[in-house]
Structure formats: C-alpha cells, structure tokens
Amino acid sequence: MTRAIERREVALVDLLDRVLAGGVVIAGEITLTIADIDLVRISLRALIASVRVENEEEERGGREGARHDG
C-alpha cells in the first residue's frame, strides 16, 4: 500500500513566515472548577501577524471585528 500524501519537511522559519504573512488567531478558554462550582474563568484571544500585514489591513478598512486599544 502506498501513501497518497507525500511527507514534506518545512523549516520553522518558512512556517513562521507563512503564519506572519497571513496572520493567525489563537483562542482558548480555561475554567477552574471545584465541586461543580466554577471559580475562575480565563478567556484568551490573540491575533499574531506581522506589523506590515496589519498596516495593510488597516489601510484597506481593517479586519472585521478588529479592535485596537490606545
């Protein structure tokens, strides 16, 4: 049986370049629960992109739902 998908090695630098070129959103949520009682809830949303990409997006009207503090 042959593999339909070839294995490709990608250098970390190339992967990072691709991520920064298009941007990536990381989202997560953690809830600390004891005895079925939610004590602490932490929500995290992060946008990782290069400054150049963000400036280009801002000139074109910005990303939908983007919020800039400051």
Residues 68, 26, 18, 15, CA torsion sign: positive
Judge whether residue 70 has pLDDT over 50: no
Q: What is the mean pLDDT of residues 27-51?
A: 90
Average per-residue pLDDT in the chain?
Answer: 77
- Give the pLDDT band of residue 68 (cuts 50, 70, 90): low
Task: Kindly report the length of the chain.
Answer: 70
| Closest C-alpha to 46, from 19, 59, 28 | 28
